[in-house]
């Protein structure tokens, strides 16, 4: 058996080791959906960030440094046996890491809520996660020793993970995976920057649901039309991102326009793209990368 301790990257690494230990071969053999034949070694996953929720999800991500892409393995055989989420283990995390991982969790909740694969149970978890994360992320970033804020974040990321592990994600993750593979940008930061731009693109396909995202984030939407509510959700995301110190664009992180085409092509092929509420093509992806600069 394995015991994994840490945030998303160590947990994903542990899941890869568990699959290779029982199935053999090279990790590249398992890219895609349910490729492995046998269950992983039993894993006890002790999570220390809020977070990727890797300790409860059906997938793991490993970077192929040669191809500069993040390989996504969706695999029922990688589910851990016991997940441990103790917010006291998260008290000492630095503000920058708390912000990035927290925005990743918010992205999971919002994408799981808007994805084509969403259903009643995943919606309930996603909306509650959006609420918990919106209420507590800024406090957890600015006052890292606040156990109540850390507890809400630990719970929020955990149910966001259950939601997206069952419903799926969307094009924010598809595009963020390329920034991770190409520039090694932190996953949460890439998601946080892209999230408002992708959801603005998605508005025509999920206007009412985005209005409900705004409500879950604490915006008073009673007198708003669906479109006003959807735009309010995007504003609320941008406001939270800025409040926790996420950079406002990709340019300041060294992203170059000349890489957009390759990243856009790879993003379309990403396993998360099929779940996006609106159909998307390479030109759309390039335009979204451009708007996020």
Q: Which is nearer to Fe ion, 187 or 211 (CB)?
A: 187
Shortest reach from residue 220's CB to Fe ion, in Å: 29
Shortest reach from residue 191's CB to Fe ion, in Å: 6
Which helix (H) or strand (E) covers residue 267, if one does? helix 260-269
β-partners of residue 46 are 5, 84
Shortest reach from residue 96's CB to Fe ion, in Å: 17
C-alpha 104/C-alpha 251 separation (Å) is: 20
With the CA atoms of 90, 7, 111 and 116 taken in that order, what torsion angle do they form, in degrees rounded to the nearest 10?
A: -130
C-alpha 198/C-alpha 178 separation (Å) is: 14
Q: Which is nearer to Fe ion, 103 or 232 (CB)?
A: 103
Number of residue whose CB is nearest Fe ion = 104
> Could you tell me if 248 and 196 are in contact, meaning their C-beta atoms sit under 8 angstroms apart?
no
Shortest reach from residue 111's CB to Fe ion, in Å: 8
CA distances from 175 to 34, 66, 97, 206, 292 (A): 22, 19, 20, 19, 11
Q: Which is nearer to Fe ion, 63 or 207 (CB)?
A: 63
Shortest reach from residue 24's CB to Fe ion, in Å: 28
Shortest reach from residue 1's CB to Fe ion, in Å: 26
Q: Is residue 222 helix, strand or coil?
A: coil
State the residues that interact with Fe ion by CB under 5 A: 104
Q: Which is nearer to Fe ion, 174 or 202 (CB)?
A: 174
Q: Which is nearer to Fe ion, 104 or 270 (CB)?
A: 104
Helices (H) and strands (E) in the chain, counts: 10, 6
> Could you tell me if 78 and 18 are in contact, meaning their C-beta atoms sit under 8 angstroms apart?
yes
Q: Which is nearer to Fe ion, 75 or 104 (CB)?
A: 104
């Amino acid at each position: 058996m394995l015991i994994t301790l840490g945030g998303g990257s160590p947990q994903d690494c542990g899941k890869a080791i568990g699959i290779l230990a029982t199935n053999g071969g090279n990790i590249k053999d398992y890219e895609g959906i349910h490729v492995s034949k046998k269950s992983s070694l039993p894993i006890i996953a002790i999570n220390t960030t809020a977070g990727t929720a890797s300790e409860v999800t059906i997938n793991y991500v490993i970077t192929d440094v040669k191809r500069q892409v993040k390989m996504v393995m969706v695999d029922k055989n990688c589910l851990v046996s016991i997940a441990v989420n103790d917010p006291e283990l998260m008290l000492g995390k630095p503000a920058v890491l708390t912000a990035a991982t927290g925005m990743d969790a918010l992205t999971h909740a919002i994408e799981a809520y808007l994805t084509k694969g969403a259903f009643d149970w995943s919606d309930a978890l996603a909306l509650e996660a959006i609420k918990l994360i919106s209420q507590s992320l800024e406090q957890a970033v600015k006052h890292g020793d606040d156990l109540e804020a850390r507890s809400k974040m630990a719970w929020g990321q955990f149910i966001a993970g259950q939601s997206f592990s069952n419903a799926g994600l969307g094009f924010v993750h598809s595009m963020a995976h390329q920034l991770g593979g190409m520039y090694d940008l932190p996953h949460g930061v890439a998601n946080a920057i892209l999230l408002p731009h992708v959801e603005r693109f998605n508005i025509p396909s999920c206007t009412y649901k985005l209005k409900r995202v705004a409500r879950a984030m604490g915006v008073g939407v009673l007198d708003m039309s669906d479109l006003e509510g959807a735009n309010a959700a995007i504003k609320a995301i941008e406001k939270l991102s800025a409040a926790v110190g996420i950079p406002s664009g990709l340019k300041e992180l060294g992203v170059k326009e000349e890489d957009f085409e390759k990243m856009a092509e790879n993003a379309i092929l990403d396993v998360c793209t099929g779940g996006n509420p609106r159909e998307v093509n390479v030109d759309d992806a390039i335009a979204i990368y451009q708007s996020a600069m």
